[in-house]
A and B are shown apart, each in its own frame.
Chain A
Amino acid sequence: MPQEHKLSPSEEEYLEAIYTRQEANAQAITTRNLAECLGVKDSSVSEMLKRLSEKGFIHYTPYHGATLTEAGLKIATKVKRKHRLLERFLVDICGVDKHESHEQACEMEHVISDAAVDTLSTQLGNPATCPGGSVIPEGEKGDETVISKLSKMGKGTYVIRFLTSPEPETISRLCSLGLIPGLPVKVLRKIANGPIIIEMKDTQIALGRDVAESLLVSPEEKEVEGRRRRKRRGAPPAAAAG
């Protein structure tokens, strides 16, 4: 089984590069492109591609190029997710310069664990894009614990997961009203750029946009299943290309 292999950082870099290319124009990447992209010799690229192909991560046809297999896509997506989330972390939280953040994320992405990156994503409020604007792929378990800001949600019922407001008054007020993690809330109305009106325990409560942003929620169980079914029907874009 290809997934069983522990990949080296450079192998992961290759998969990531192929993923980026596929994501951009859904075409096979040539040896030349890869060599430019990673700044290595053509010959070492060919050698690495052969090895990855043998391990079952890519489809490789010499002179034509490489595309990811399903197993390869899985790993590449995971690495890319780590990379972009780490960039977000470095830029938003650590205040690192965008360019430097890319380089540092390139190093870190190979050592950070999946669990750690999932928690990081939650703490960051599950950002949708990296600082450069590229889409951050969802985590593997993402379907079950899609956590995002209440302010981003449409009408429907959600379960509160985290209170992240920096204002102690707000946290305290939310708790005393019973808006605590685990509570299902129903979004009744969103006023454009304004407050969100929710219903909980027979009570309507208005939450300012900033408060709604600090409330991290996940869809209620029923909703998750619906979403999963929808997902299964449509194949992921990158895999379709491969």
Chain B
Amino acid sequence: MPRVPLFLKKWMTAPRPTEQRPDSLCPSVPEAPSLSEKQDITPKQIALMGNPSAGKSAMFSQMTGVTVIVSNIPQTTVMVQKGLSQINGHKLFIYDLPGVYSVTAVTEDEAATKEFLLGTPLDAVIDIVDATRLERNLYLTLQMLELGLPVVVCLNQVDLLKTLDLDIDVADLERELGATVVPTIATQGQGVHAALESAYHYAERPSKRAPRQVSYDDHIERAIAALIPLLPETSVPKRGFAARLLEGDEAFEARVDEHTLAIVKEFRDEVERAHGENVAITIARGRYSTAGLIASAVLVRKVHKLTLAERFGDLATRPRTGYPLLVALIGGMLALIFYVGGYLSDLMTSFFEGIVFPPVFRVVDAYVPNLLVTSAVHSTLLALAAALAIAVPYILVFFIFLAILEDVGYLPRVAVLLDRQAHIIGLRGRSIIPLLFGYGCSVPAIMATRTLPTKKERIITIALITMIPCSARTAIILGVAATYAGVQYAIAIYLISLVLIIASGRLLRSTVPGRTAGLVLEIPLIRRPALVPILKKTWLRMKEFFYVAVPLLVVGSIVFGWLEVTGLSRLIEAPMAPVTVGLLGLPAFTAICLIYGVLRKEMAVEMLAIASGTFIFSTVMTPVQIFVFCLVVTLYVPCVATFAVITRELNTRWAVGISIFTIVLALIAGGIAFRVLTYAHW
């Protein structure tokens, strides 16, 4: 047996040289893996693999200390993450791979996992197995063993077994699988050290135990036996290689000659004739029945009574209770953001306006002669105040709420509940999750569309995400429109955006070419949210705001102040006046706010505070103007970061197209709203 299985394409066709690793490496792994003589210096490479929602990211965070987004939602991780860990003084590289149900890729995130797995020399693979869904998870474990991967199994979430009245005999499971099994609770860090240690040991001294073989039906077994002598020497055991060839895995088909392929096809036809079904299904059945045998040997079931959490999960998907629950949660969330965020916002405002501003401004105005410097100081303080008083309170409360919903496992249930409605806009329930993420931030939401099975669904979902009021826009709607114009205006903005999203979805459904695939979605268990992970996740999401948004705002604010002082701002306001003043009926100084809003949405309103010189917007704008301004900011053009991520995920053409579409939509909606409300008032 090769000490370290390698999956490089080059190696698949050539006999494996002894004691040497190939020079060319997978592009996703820039660090050269250790040559055997340098083993102590170069860190071992360990990948975390497993089913969606098994807890890979939680484990990754615990092992590396790198905080990544962990949620109780299948397929939260969409790309390979890398981190550094240590065990007894030895460095280890840890890779967190997107979750997969099998080594057959359907969506882009799954393709990323397969590509990484087959293209990277790994010293050990930690297979995170969800203990509560043992049999289904073992299906992947068996495939990994079949591929000759150096597998160490983590039996994760063992704490939940008790609530489900299940029990697993770890020693038996170890014996059945022929692999090391470590029971863990990744969210609490239990067993993480032991898992790392086992993986490191495996990397140092691979296990001599023979891994569990899948027992296939007679036809498949005969075919495998006949194919084995024809296969090239690779790190993949020939039995597994033959099985993958039979099921039509393109990555393996590419590594054998035409002659072998022809024989494979003959066997495939023979098996299909005998079974009357696709050979991939016959093979899957073999793996599943082996997984079933193992599970029944190690799993003890006791009489189970539904827990409170299961009952809640049940209510969330039952239409009669699910819809009211959803409406109540959204309403409750908005109210919470409005009141708690508003309270924090008031505190901040009075702190800055009452305590900080007066003495500082008095001193600066009195003693600093240079107008540009005075302006810069004013602007910096205003920017800090705007960020902390307008944006942060609302965004913070929103992110905490979102984190709780994610960790509980509620969002996939919403996806199921709204599958029917999603059909109206040409989507399936699966898209609901990225769309809901869109209420947090468009960028990760757009990344999350990688889990969607077809291109058409991705395009429609991405386009609609840009129109969903993200947390920054929620801060604007609740912090400005609801506070200074009236709650009814805030509700109107939400309803208008919802109507426009549905209308755009219908339009896109009939214009975007391609097709959609039906909903197949695993529903995770309902879990009790824990405080620390929620705060960690919230901080991770807020961090970007403090490190990127605040400095940007300070610089933007200083520039703005200078434009004002030097009178250059007129040069920008004047050409935009036909749109801002003429079409939308806004004050001229909003032009620059709208431009800043392209950088970051919440900057539009922060700059509004800076431009108007007050946080009490009702003193400088009428309720209608505030409403129109917020409506336009909500709808118009994705922010720079969103534009960039659309360019990356789709292409520039789509990014530009979506931008133009939303600008036109925002101007039309704003123009109509201004006119209708003005007439209604007189």
Contacts and interface: CB of A to CB of B under 8 A. Distances in A.
Contacts of A200: 136
Nearest to A205: B522
A191 B278 CA distance: 31
A10 interface: no
A167 interface: yes
A26 interface: no
B120 interface: no
B420 interface: yes
Contacts of B318: 189
A120 interface: no
A103 interface: no
B27 interface: no
A203 B133 contact: yes
B518 A211 contact: yes
Contacts of B419: 191, 194-195, 206, 208-209
A132 interface: no
Contacts of B453: 169-170, 173
A207 B518 contact: yes
A202 B136 contact: yes
B207 interface: no
Interface residues of A, number: 39
B281 A181 contact: yes
B104 interface: yes
Nearest to A193: B420
Give the interface size class of chain B. Answer: 35 or more
Contacts of B104: 172, 175-176
Contacts of A214: 518
B133 A201 contact: yes
B187 interface: no
B102 A206 contact: no
A191 B517 contact: no
B489 interface: no
Given A178-B284, A202-B133, A189 B317 contact: yes
Nearest to B415: A206
A208 B519 contact: yes
A7 B77 CA distance: 66
Contacts of B518: 165, 167, 170, 207-211, 214
Interface string A167-191: 1011111111111111100000101
A30 B429 CA distance: 58
A165 B278 CA distance: 13
A204 B288 contact: no
Nearest to B454: A169
A226 B29 CA distance: 60
A176 B519 contact: no
Given A178-B284, A192-B319, A204 B520 contact: no
B520 A205 contact: yes
Contacts of B317: 189, 191, 197, 206
Given A165-B518, A167-B517, A202-B132, A180 B285 contact: yes
Interface in A191-239: 191-195, 197, 200-211, 214
A201 B101 CA distance: 14
B134 interface: yes
A165 B104 CA distance: 18
A163 B132 CA distance: 27
B281 A180 contact: yes
Contact of B106 (A163, A176, A205, A208): A176
A127 to B, nearest CB: 20
Contact of A177 (B101, B164, B319, B515): B101
Contacts of B522: 177, 203-205
A200 B107 CA distance: 22
A195 B416 contact: yes
A171 B515 CA distance: 15
Contacts of A162: 277
B602 interface: no
A175 B100 CA distance: 12
Contacts of A169: 106-107, 453-454, 517
A189 B317 CA distance: 8
B80 interface: no
Contacts of A171: 278
Interface string B99-111: 0111010110000
Interface in B223-271: none
A111 to B, nearest CB: 23
B521 A205 contact: yes
Given A176-B101, A176-B104, A206-B419, A170 B135 contact: no
A181 B276 CA distance: 11
Contact of B284 (A175, A197, A204): A175
Interface in B132-166: 132-136, 139, 164, 166
B389 interface: no
A183 B277 CA distance: 14
Interface string B509-539: 0000001011111110000000000000000
Interface string B37-66: 000000000000000000000000000000
B319 A195 contact: no
A206 B416 contact: yes
Contacts of A197: 317, 416, 523
A204 B523 contact: yes
Nearest to A119: B276
Given A193-B420, A197-B317, A201-B135, A206 B521 contact: yes
B417 interface: yes
A82 to B, nearest CB: 22
10 contacts: A169-B107, A170-B453, A173-B520, A176-B100, A181-B277, A191-B317, A195-B419, A195-B420, A202-B134, A204-B522
Given A167-B518, A176-B101, 12 more contacts: A169-B454, A175-B281, A176-B100, A178-B136, A180-B285, A195-B519, A197-B523, A202-B133, A205-B520, A206-B519, A211-B519, A214-B518
Interface of B: 100-102, 104, 106-107, 132-136, 139, 164, 166, 277-278, 280-281, 284-285, 288, 292, 295, 314, 317-319, 412, 415-417, 419-420, 428-429, 453-454, 515, 517-523
Closest 8 CB pairs of A and B: A208-B519, A211-B518, A176-B102, A194-B420, A176-B101, A208-B518, A204-B523, A206-B416
